[in-house]
Amino acid sequence: MQLRLPSSISEAQRCLAEGAVPVGGATLVWAGWQRDGFPEQAVSLRRLPEANAIGPGELGGAVLLHHVDATVPEVLHRAAGGVGTGAVRRAATVGGNIVGSTLRCLLPAALVLDARATVLTADGVYETDLAELLAKRLVLLALRWRTPLASGYRKLEGAAGGAPPLVVAVALHSGDEGRAHLRVAVRDNYDVLSGSAPCEPGAGAGEVLHALEGTELGELPAAARDAVRDQVVEVLARAAG
């Protein structure tokens, strides 16, 4: 297998046009390749500057999870820090986790940040939403978002060998005329559910939680709704303080 390491967008496009398979950090595809056979050529974006950015409003798809630091919002920083083991985080990439993984550990955090995806195809670069990114399994160059007022993340303990642990991600965003809105996303087993609610000035956590019950989050089991409540209360209290 030939591993191609483009250092420019045009070179990366050429790799894709010539049939190179995106490899990410190879933590997910390697076992499959060993079982089913290796492709003739693969492409990694680890030398592409546009895929390695990291900052308050941007995170590149080729960034290793253990490099995701406190320059990004707390919800994304903590999500990356909670993936697998240290060895996994030193190899796995942001793009590989969101697009290539069935667990999609970073997806709830990206959803509550209302992130947009800059993607790479053989024909060019464009911006899209997370739904298209996942549905078409596009090559992620970078995520971009507006910095929230506050955010939080909680990953519950899971049983060894059992279902994926519950994940709750929350972010409070500013709006017009002092209005704000709260976004919540939950990974329950392999499903990711999300919802949002307005957060008027002076509104209490109870009002926001009541509004969230009217979204698909209201379908969660009681234990998951309790985890959502706790995280919502914590983020709203932190924003108020």
What local confidence, expressed as pLDDT, does residue 161 receive?
65
Other beta carbons within 10 Å of 237: 11
What local confidence, expressed as pLDDT, does residue 179 receive?
80
pLDDT digit string, tens, across residues 12-34: 999 999 999 888 766 666 666 76
How far is C-alpha 7 from the chain's CA centre? 24
Phi first, then psi: give them for residue 188, nearest 5 degrees.
-115, 110
pLDDT digit string, tens, across residues 104-143: 899 999 999 999 999 999 999 999 999 999 999 999 999 9
- For the chain, how many structural domains are there in total? 2
Contacts of 214 (CB under 8 A, 6+ apart): none
> Within this chain, do residues 112 and 154 fall inside the same structural domain, yes or no?
no
Average pLDDT for residues 189-204, to the nearest whole number? 85
User: 91, 118, 144: which is the final residue of a domain?
Assistant: 144
User: 121, 144, 167: which is the final residue of a domain?
Assistant: 144
What local confidence, expressed as pLDDT, does residue 178 receive?
66
pTM attached to this predicted model: 0.92
Phi first, then psi: give them for residue 31, nearest 5 degrees.
-60, -40
> Within this chain, do residues 159 and 109 fall inside the same structural domain, yes or no?
no
> Within this chain, do residues 110 and 203 fall inside the same structural domain, yes or no?
no
Range(s) of the domain holding residue 36: 2-144
